[in-house]
Amino acid sequence: MSTLAKKYLAECFGAAVLVFVGCGSVAMGSYGASPPIGTLPIALAFGLTVTALVYSLGPVSGCHINPAVTIALWVSGRFPSAQVPGYVISQLAGAVAGAALLVAILSGTPDGQIHAGLGQNGWGPGYLGQYNAFSAFITEFVATAIFLVVILGATSKDAVTQGAGVAIGAALVVIIVAFLNVTGVSLNPARSLGPAVFAGAHALSQVWLFFAAPSLAAMTVGLCFRTQLQ
């Protein structure tokens, strides 16, 4: 297997694990139905999963597992343009695969129904704090920007990169604890797409925001880091 194929496979696998474990903490653990008590277990599930993946997949692909991370690194000049499409496609495919595995397990209840949802992101009436689209967009943009600053800063050439995984995972935990009640916290278009594919038309109709806000944040942060390097 070529080095590039290994990178794509690592990104696909990492995104699948992130969705399966992170969204599984909502869907199988049913923590999403009991905020604020359920917020910390969800935050830890996502944050610790990312930390583990950074150290295990980082040497293979850099462990982006998030199109926003790939875009930010590309805009900052730290990632080759030719690999961006392959990384993003791999991440999206992995997230859908992780959600599909989650659906397969959740369908094994006596009535065959998925009762707690799939950890899909959203906003508006009936979703967590019922915030509107404006609040959801601002939250996703700012939270993603904070997360990406940590990632790009912790992995820069002047940083103590051995601790990058801990910093990135810890940042994700804190962000989820702070903002879960607004959108469920995406920061990652792949993480939002995977569950939405199986969660129904309403979830799919809202996915655009979880592509747009993190992508815009990624371009903004990437440009700031690119400017800093020049």
pLDDT tens digits, 60-117: 999 999 999 999 999 999 999 999 999 999 999 999 999 999 999 988 877 666 766 7
The rounded distance, in Å, linking the Cα atoms of 46 and 176 is: 9
What number does CATH give the domain 3-229?
A: 1.20.1080.10
- The amino acid at residue 151 is I
Q: What is the pLDDT of residues 141-160, one digit of tens each?
A: 999 999 999 999 999 887 67
Average pLDDT of the segment spanning 32-42:
72
pLDDT at 162 over 90: no
Average pLDDT of the segment spanning 127-141:
96
Average pLDDT of the segment spanning 110-138:
87
pLDDT at 37 over 50: yes
Write the DSSP symbol of residue 46: H
The rounded distance, in Å, linking the Cα atoms of 177 and 154 is: 21
Q: Is the pTM of this model over 0.75?
A: yes
Report the pLDDT value the prediction gives residue 27, as an integer from 0 to 100. Answer: 86
Report the pLDDT value the prediction gives residue 197, as an integer from 0 to 100. Answer: 96
Report the pLDDT value the prediction gives residue 230, as an integer from 0 to 100. Answer: 47
Nearest to 206 by CA among 182, 227, 178: 182
Q: How far is CA 64 from CA 73, 79, 112, 134, 226, in A?
A: 9, 11, 34, 27, 18
Average pLDDT of the segment spanning 47-57:
97
